[in-house]
């Protein structure tokens, strides 16, 4: 039997080196969390769910975890702006 492939000079590990500023690690994530990020990437029309995880971690590291009130207010403002909802009066803004 003749060997078609000679792996004597083969090397283990990644074929392509990691990008500068990136480190390859092993991390265990809950299945539901990983699936959520994958679904978000799919819903956005594709993309890299790993980059989304990286961005989420960066936001927490630089801005700290947002209070739920801050998040709700931002979402309501964005939705009102999107649908052309009511605007605050000048008197309400001064208060």
Length of the chain: 95
82 assigned to some structural domain: yes
Instruction: Report if residue 5 sits inside a domain.
Output: no
CB 55 within 8 A of CB 48: no
CA distance 57 to 5: 43
pLDDT (tens, 9 = 90+) of the chain, 95 residues, equals 566 888 888 888 777 777 788 888 899 999 999 999 999 999 988 889 999 999 999 988 888 777 888 888 988 999 899 888 666 666 666 65
Do the domain assignments include residue 4? no
In a domain, 10, yes or no: no
Q: Considering only CA atoms, which of 62, 59, 64, 57 is closest in space to residue 25? A: 57
The three-state secondary structure class of 29 is: coil
Whether 63 is in a domain gets the answer: yes
Answer whether residue 62 is part of any domain: yes
pTM over 0.85: no
Residue 94 domain flag: no
> What's the total number of domains in the chain?
1
Measured CA to CA, the distance from residue 89 to residue 40 in angstroms comes to 37
pLDDT of residue 1: 55
In a domain, 45, yes or no: yes
| Containing structural domain, residue 68 | 31-86
């Amino acid at each position: 039997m003749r060997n078609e492939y000679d792996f004597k000079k083969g090397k283990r590990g990644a074929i392509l080196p990691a990008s500068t500023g990136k480190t390859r690690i092993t991390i265990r994530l809950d299945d539901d969390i990983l699936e959520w990020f994958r679904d978000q990437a799919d819903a956005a029309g594709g993309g890299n769910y790993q980059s989304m995880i990286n961005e989420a971690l960066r936001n927490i590291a630089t801005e700290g975890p947002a209070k739920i009130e801050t998040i709700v207010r931002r979402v309501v403002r964005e939705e009102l702006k999107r649908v052309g909802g009511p605007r605050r009066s000048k008197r309400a803004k001064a208060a």
